[in-house]
Amino acid sequence: MKKIFYVLLSLVLFTNRVYANENAEKLIQQMADDIMSKIVKSSITIDAKEKEFEKIFRGSTNTSKIAKFTLGRFSKTIDKDDFIRYENTLVNSIVKTWTKRFVSYAGETLTIKSSSQEPGKDVFVNSIIDIPNTEKDVEVIWRVEEKNGIYKLVDIIVEGISLVQSYKNEYTSVLQRNNGNIDELIDLLKSKTETPKFSK
Amino acid sequence: MQKLFFILTGIILLFGCATVPTDPEAYEAYKEANDPLEPLNRKISAFNDVAEKYVMRPIGEGYRSVTTPVARSSFRNFVINIKTPLYIINDTLQLNLKDALKNISRFTINSTIGFFGFFDVAQRLGIETDANDFGKTLAVWGVPEGPYLVVPFMGPSNFRDVLGQGSDYFINPPLYRLFASSKSDIGIALSYERSYFAPLVMYEKNMNLIDDVRSSSLDPYINIRTYSRQLRRKSVNKAKGVSNIENKKSYDFDMDDEEDE
């Protein structure tokens, strides 16, 4: 009886324990360093910057998982070829949008504070971005999955806003309005990416 | 008053309600969106976009062109300082005495050494808290948020926060009202601050974000709904005393359930 009690107690303690994860922290730090040296501070053309960022993004992110998640319930009915087309369009859209943001860099600095992971779950890497001339730092949490010792980014949560959740809500709403037609979503994503109206 | 209530209810029922889906998965998504008034909300949102483009935007651009980033940061500090007594009242109503004391210290330090709040000296001393309001107080008291709402000229909200905003107006420190009703210079300055200056100062800060959402979104209405709801949830959770680790669990949604394993 006593044994069972201790087993149960250790299970409770074990499952509630949160660990730091240095590998996930390294992934994010490496990603931030690469973006800074190869894109922000580099003097190459915007097209070359996009290519560099695509390499960094595909190398450190599970793009397939993100693409599937953002399609919500519609991911169950999409065929393989359409899914690959959608995934590539999504990655292209993210790359172009974010490269433009990196180009208009205004002295922001990223500091990794800590990380936490419950057993069997994804790692959450906590960081802050200091933006000059603003009152408060921005809290950014990086969600990193670990599979067979390989770490991949799966979500970014900025001040409580999950990027993939936002994409999912938006894209499933477009699909809902178009009877699940993936071509409509791909065309819309392409048109937004090709004719961006960026802020000053 | 009763007549007005029935007219408003009639308008909402006639023009405002979304069709409830019959497909189980679509119904789940409908429930998760918590936006039964979506058709009406979209119309108000479109109206707000026009008002933003033709009224707020030129004023915001004008304000930006005649001020420096440092000056704008000081004005935001001033506005936050003037609102701090309201934070203290709501901290107290939520029995969050720690934050109430912090905000009392912030208000005292920033109003004096910080030159009427233009400089956030308290933050430099490590005394930091969050904004507070009666919407959060209602949440702490257990009032559910209710459906998503878009308020004319104000933007995204929900039933609980609309009630909270109205209440904040009335529970705003009586001292300000006294000054305002006495027509003293400070009272007039404060009433102008509350009605015109504060929204402008806070709006200017978000102008780039609004542009960004519009340029990169396929459906800005859905994007703003998602953003505002997640931001508010984080802020309400903090007021409820939900720990960082517990709060983090809300981002730990299952990403594998749509995957073919």
B236 touches chain A (CB under 8 A): no
pLDDT tens per residue across span A147-156: 888 999 999 9
Q: Do A22 and A112 meet the contact criterion of CB atoms below 8 Å apart? A: no
Close Cβ partners of A136 (under 8 Å, ≥ 6 residues apart): B128
| CA torsion through residues A20, A22, A24, A30, sign | positive
Find the radius of gyration of the CA atoms of chain B: 21
Which 8-state DSSP code applies to residue B250?
Answer: G
Q: Mean pLDDT lowest for which of B143-157, B169-183, B225-239?
A: B169-183
pLDDT tens per residue across span A38-49: 888 888 888 999
Distance from CA of A184 to the nearest CA of B (A): 11
pLDDT tens per residue across span B36-82: 999 999 999 999 999 999 999 999 999 999 999 999 999 999 989 98
pLDDT recorded at residue B259: 46
Angle of the A80-103 helix axis to the A182-194 helix axis, nearest 10: 20
What is the torsion angle, in degrees rounded to the nearest 10, for the CA atoms of residue B86, residue B89, residue B91 and residue B93?
A: -140
Read off the pTM. 0.80
SS3 string, B207-228, reads HHHHHHHHHHCCCHHHHHHHHH
Residue B171 has pLDDT above 50, yes or no: yes
Q: How many beta-carbon contacts under 8 Å exist across A and B?
A: 113
- Parallel, antiparallel or unpaired: strands A138-147 and A161-162: unpaired
pLDDT recorded at residue B154: 87
Mean pLDDT, residues B142-166: 93
pLDDT recorded at residue B260: 44
CA A153, CA A161: separation in Å to the nearest integer? Answer: 16
Residue A107: which of A130, A135, A141, A82 has the closest Cα?
Answer: A130
Q: Which residue among A116, A133, A198 sits closest to B70, beta carbon to beta carbon?
A: A133
Q: Which residue among B212, B258, B259 sits closest to A199, beta carbon to beta carbon?
A: B212
What is the torsion angle, in degrees rounded to the nearest 10, for the CA atoms of residue A180, residue A182, residue A183 and residue A188?
A: 100
* Contact residues, chain A, for B234 at CB < 8 Å: 159-160
* Contact residues, chain A, for B251 at CB < 8 Å: 124, 141, 143, 155, 157, 162
Between B206 and B103, whose confidence is greater?
Answer: B103
Which 8-state DSSP code applies to residue A56?
Answer: H
Helix residue ranges, H only, chain B: 2-11, 24-33, 38-51, 57-65, 69-93, 97-112, 121-124, 134-140, 159-171, 174-181, 185-192, 198-216, 220-239, 244-248
Mean pLDDT, residues A89-114: 87
pLDDT tens per residue across span B91-136: 999 999 999 999 999 999 999 999 988 999 999 899 988 889 999 9
Residue B1 has pLDDT above 60, yes or no: no
The distance from CA A9 to its chain's CA centroid, rounded to whole angstroms, is 36
- Parallel, antiparallel or unpaired: strands B148-151 and A138-147: unpaired
User: What amino acid is encoded at B28 in this protein?
Assistant: E
